[in-house]
Amino acid sequence: MPELPEVETIVRGLDGLLAAKVVAEVRVFYPGSFPDDPALTATRLTGAVIRRVDRRGKAILIYLDNSRVLMVHLKMTGQLIYYGQETASRISELLPGRSTRIAIHFIDGSVLYFNDQRKFGWMKLLAEEELTRQPFLQKLGVEPLSGAFTAGHLEKLLNRRKGSSVKAALLDQSIIAGIGNIYADESLFLSGIDPDRRCRDLTSEEVKRLHRAIRRVLRESIKMGGSTRRNYRNAIGQTGDYLTKAWVYGRTGEACRKCGRPIMKKRTAGRGTHYCPGCQS
Ligand SMILES: [Zn+2]
């Protein structure tokens, strides 16, 4: 599933490519991708002008000039790929493809494809004022790259989850928005904290290190275009490079980049968890 750096990379790409585009036609290949009312959603999108593209947590928000917002969740395998003159030469796959669910055509001939192999992703068109009332967005925790996310704030958040493991707390979207399995493992490695540690047992110094590590791994991944395991692609169909430089994620049995011991994998918070027994305690 795409996490914050992947969604941020898509959003930055789309914001530059889609601003001022006018929707000419919407082709629906799989109505389930428009869960609210496929025909009405397509009608309301037609003629709209895109103002800007933003995100909240892992939700992508495409703001339109008609006071509506197209909210997109990529879930497991969703992709938003822009096809236009600027990018056509860089896109190798044939579009629309077998996993294309929605195609939004613009009057200049460019197209935004929503591909989703597993079909868990969705697009919902909302009035802008409805956005803040969406239960899905209301439940989201702090944005880890925002000014509101300080070490002191993280300490308070972890205090509310005293008995749970620090890994489970990092994965909880109602505490911090946008961190999933990859960046939880990477942040815990960089802060030297064993993923199984209980939140109540962390010292203030460890929480400070964890706070710095979270921001560092997210920023570094954004710089590298995010992480691609299987389906993730940026707005013009390219993969991200972060996993080639990852500290522990996906490196079971390989040498730790700091101490040389083999990276181990265990199950924490119901997820496969990568860690270095030499660097984390
Ligand atoms: Zn190590």
Q: Does domain 151-275 have CATH number 3.90.1150.10?
A: no
What is the share, in percent, of the chain residues with pLDDT greater than 70? 99
pTM (predicted TM-score): 0.94
pLDDT in the model for residue 90: 73
**Contact present, 126 and 68 (Cβ < 8 Å):** yes
* pLDDT at residue 214 greater than cutoff 90: yes
pLDDT in the model for residue 212: 98
User: In the beta sheet, which residues pair with residue 273?
Assistant: 266
User: How far apart are the CA of 279 and the centre of ligand 1, in A?
Assistant: 4
User: How far apart are the CA of 281 and the centre of ligand 1, in A?
Assistant: 11
User: How far apart are the CA of 160 and the centre of ligand 1, in A?
Assistant: 30
Domain boundaries 4-138, CATH class: alpha beta
What is the share, in percent, of the chain residues with pLDDT greater than 90? 92
* pLDDT at residue 209 greater than cutoff 90: yes
Q: In this predicted model, what pLDDT tens digit does every residue of 233-265 receive, in sequence order?
A: 999 999 999 999 999 999 999 999 999 999 999
pLDDT in the model for residue 234: 93
pLDDT in the model for residue 250: 96
User: How far apart are the CA of 245 and the centre of ligand 1, in A?
Assistant: 15
pLDDT in the model for residue 93: 76
Strand segments (E) across 117-263: 122-127
User: How far apart are the CA of 155 and the centre of ligand 1, in A?
Assistant: 25
Q: In this predicted model, what pLDDT tens digit does every residue of 117-130 receive, in sequence order?
A: 999 999 999 999 99
* pLDDT at residue 89 greater than cutoff 80: no
CA-based angle 144:150:153, to the nearest 5? Answer: 95
User: How far apart are the CA of 185 and the centre of ligand 1, in A?
Assistant: 13
* pLDDT at residue 229 greater than cutoff 90: no
User: What is the rounded average pLDDT for all residues in the chain?
Assistant: 95
pLDDT in the model for residue 267: 98
pLDDT in the model for residue 88: 72
Cα gap 182→248, rounded to integer Å: 9
* pLDDT at residue 1 greater than cutoff 90: no
What are the C-alpha distances in Å from 240 to residues 9, 91, 115?
9, 15, 17
Strand segments (E) across the chain: 23-28, 50-56, 59-64, 68-73, 78-83, 100-106, 111-116, 122-127, 264-268, 271-275
* pLDDT at residue 16 greater than cutoff 90: yes
* Domain layout of the chain by residue ranges: 4-138, 151-275
pLDDT in the model for residue 260: 98
pLDDT in the model for residue 94: 83
Confidence at 230, pLDDT banded by 50, 70, 90 = confident
User: How far apart are the CA of 249 and the centre of ligand 1, in A?
Assistant: 13
pLDDT in the model for residue 76: 92
**Positions marked catalytic:** 2-3, 58, 271
Q: Is 139 helix (H, G, I), strand (E, B) or coil?
A: coil
Confidence at 199, pLDDT banded by 50, 70, 90 = very high
Q: In this predicted model, what pLDDT tens digit does every residue of 129-175 receive, in sequence order?
A: 999 899 889 999 999 999 999 999 999 999 999 899 999 999 999 99
User: How far apart are the CA of 115 and the centre of ligand 1, in A?
Assistant: 38
User: How far apart are the CA of 175 and the centre of ligand 1, in A?
Assistant: 28
User: How far apart are the CA of 250 and the centre of ligand 1, in A?
Assistant: 15
Please, is 114 exposed, middle or buried when counting C-beta atoms within 10 Å of its C-beta (0-12, 13-18, 19+)? buried
